Amino acid sequence: MTRRQVILSGSTFEERIGYARAVVDGDWVHVSGTTGFDYATMTISDDVVEQAEQCLRNIEAALAEAGCSFDDVVRVRYLLPVREDFEPCWPTLRRRFGEVRPAATMMVCGLADPRMRIEIEVYARRPALGRSSS
């Protein structure tokens, strides 16, 4: 299959680094690692839970533009510089993924900007016509 669609969020990082928020390749949607920046204002909260919530809003917008939703996510990766920041995010993450149950990995690693406390990456499979997305 050939690459069909590139989705941009307006993040200055996309332009500076040269990547897309998401790429739709056939039925597959690959959403880049997404941080808690509000891309309209390029601001970010100091609070890890607020960052997680913004990450999910950013991801939701990319998924919607690709024609799918959190119900279609099959894989999620969580990247955090501080291991102890992960557990406070669990209720927020469970609200989006608790029923979907995608394969998941959490890794502790450095992120591109010291203000970033969580980064989330997802893969989704777009629903086929006539097939339910859940």
Residue 134 lies in a domain: no
User: What is the pTM assigned to this prediction?
Assistant: 0.90
Average pLDDT over residues 63-72: 96
pLDDT given for residue 15 in this prediction: 86
* Contact assessment for residue 93 and residue 73, using Cβ atoms and an 8 Å cutoff: no
Confidence tier at 118 by pLDDT (50, 70, 90): very high
Mean pLDDT of the chain: 92
Say if residues 17 and 113 touch (Cβ distance below 8 Å): no
Exposure on the CB side of residue 118, measured as CA atoms within 13 A: 30
Q: Structural domain tally of the chain?
A: 1
The range of the structural domain enclosing residue 98 comes to: 3-125
Instruction: Judge whether 20 lies within some domain.
Output: yes
The CATH number linked to 20 is 3.30.1330.40
**Has residue 55 been placed in a domain?**
yes
Per-residue pLDDT tens for 4-46? 899 999 888 888 999 999 999 999 999 999 999 998 898 999 9
What lies within 8 Å, CB to CB, of 5 at 6+ separation is 23, 24, 66
